[in-house]
A and B are shown apart, each in its own frame.
Chain A
Amino acid sequence: MQSFLDVLALSSDQLLHGLTITVVVSGVAVAAGIVLGALFGLALTYGSAVLAFPVRVIVDVVRGTPVLVLILACFYMPAGIGLSPGPLTAGALALTVFCASHIGETLRGALLAIPLAQTDAASAIGLTFAQTLGYVLVPQAIRQIAPNLVNTAVEIVKASSLLSAIGVGELLLTTQEIIGRSFKTMEFYALAGGIYLAINLLIATGGSWLERRYRLR
Chain B
Amino acid sequence: MRAFLGVALSIAAMVTASFATGASAADRLETIKARGKILVGTGSTNPPWHFKDDQGNLVGYDVDMGHILAKAIFDDPTKVEYVIQSSDSRIPNVLTDKVDITCQFMTVTAGRAQQVNFTIPYYREGVGLLLLKNGKYKNYDDLKAAGSAATVSVLQNVYAEEMVHQALPQAKVDQYDSVDLMYQALNSNRADAAATDMSSAKWFVLQKPDQYSEGGYGWNPQTYSCAVKKGDLEFLHFVDIAFREAMSGVDFPAFAASFKKWFGEEPPVPKVGFPGEMR
The finding on whether chains A and B are genuine partners in a shared complex, rather than unrelated, reads yes
On A, residues with C-beta under 8 Å from B are: 10-11, 13-14, 17, 32, 35-36, 39, 42-43, 76, 78-79, 82-87, 89, 93, 164-167, 169, 173, 176-181, 183, 185
Contacting pair B46 A17 (CB below 8 A): no
In the complex, B135 has a CB within 8 A of chain A = no
Binds A, one of B18-26, B65-73, B251-259: B18-26
Q: Complex formed: what's the CA distance from A179 to B179 in Å?
A: 11
Contacts of A76 in B (CB 8 A): 92, 96
In the complex, B180 has a CB within 8 A of chain A = yes
| Of the residues B19, B53, B85, contact of A83 by C-beta under 8 Å | B19
Interchain nearest-CB distance for B262 vs A (Å): 13
Number of A-B pairs whose CB atoms are under 8 Å?
Answer: 91
- CB nearest to A130 among chain B residues: B3
Contacting pair B183 A183 (CB below 8 A): yes
Interchain nearest-CB distance for B58 vs A (Å): 9
Interchain nearest-CB distance for A152 vs B (Å): 18
Q: Complex formed: what's the CA distance from A168 to B188 in Å?
A: 36
Q: Complex formed: what's the CA distance from A182 to B112 in Å?
A: 32
Contacting pair B45 A177 (CB below 8 A): yes
Knowing A32-B11, A39-B8, the reply to whether A14 touches B19 (Cβ < 8 A) is: no
Q: Complex formed: what's the CA distance from A42 to B88 in Å?
A: 40
A-B contact pairs, 13 of them (CB 8 A): A39-B4, A39-B7, A83-B21, A83-B22, A84-B98, A164-B86, A169-B44, A169-B84, A177-B45, A180-B45, A180-B46, A181-B51, A185-B180
Contacting pair A35 B7 (CB below 8 A): yes
- CB nearest to A186 among chain B residues: B180
Interchain nearest-CB distance for B265 vs A (Å): 21
- CB nearest to A167 among chain B residues: B84
| Of the residues A14, A79, A89, A173, contact of B18 by C-beta under 8 Å | A89
Contacting pair B21 A178 (CB below 8 A): no
Contacts of A176 in B (CB 8 A): 44-45
Contacting pair A167 B89 (CB below 8 A): yes
Contacting pair B96 A181 (CB below 8 A): no
Contacting pair B44 A177 (CB below 8 A): yes
CB-based closest 3 A-B pairs: A180-B45, A79-B96, A84-B22
Contacting pair B21 A84 (CB below 8 A): yes
In the complex, B210 has a CB within 8 A of chain A = no
In the complex, B52 has a CB within 8 A of chain A = yes
Interchain nearest-CB distance for A35 vs B (Å): 7
| Of the residues A11, A42, A173, A180, contact of B54 by C-beta under 8 Å | A11
In the complex, B97 has a CB within 8 A of chain A = yes
Contacts beyond the supplied A84-B22, A181-B52: 18 A-B pairs with Cβ under 8 Å: A35-B11, A78-B19, A79-B96, A79-B97, A82-B22, A83-B21, A84-B20, A86-B83, A87-B83, A89-B15, A167-B83, A169-B44, A173-B44, A177-B52, A179-B45, A180-B47, A180-B51, A183-B183
In the complex, B276 has a CB within 8 A of chain A = no
Contacts of B7 in A (CB 8 A): 35, 39
Interchain nearest-CB distance for A4 vs B (Å): 13
Q: Complex formed: what's the CA distance from A83 to B18 in Å?
A: 10
Q: Complex formed: what's the CA distance from A171 to B183 in Å?
A: 26
Q: Complex formed: what's the CA distance from A178 to B18 in Å?
A: 30
Q: Which of the listed residues A14, A167, A179 has the most CB atoms from chain B within 10 Å of its own CB?
A: A167
B90-107 CB contact bits vs A (8 Å, 1 = yes)?
001001111000000000
Q: Complex formed: what's the CA distance from A178 to B44 in Å?
A: 9
Contacts of A79 in B (CB 8 A): 22, 92, 95-97
Q: Complex formed: what's the CA distance from A165 to B85 in Å?
A: 8
Q: Which of the listed residues B8, B52, B179 has the most CB atoms from chain A within 10 Å of its own CB?
A: B52
Interchain nearest-CB distance for A6 vs B (Å): 10
In the complex, B56 has a CB within 8 A of chain A = yes
Interchain nearest-CB distance for B105 vs A (Å): 13
Interchain nearest-CB distance for A160 vs B (Å): 16
Knowing A39-B4, A173-B84, the reply to whether A181 touches B53 (Cβ < 8 A) is: yes
Contacting pair B20 A85 (CB below 8 A): yes
- CB nearest to B181 among chain A residues: A185
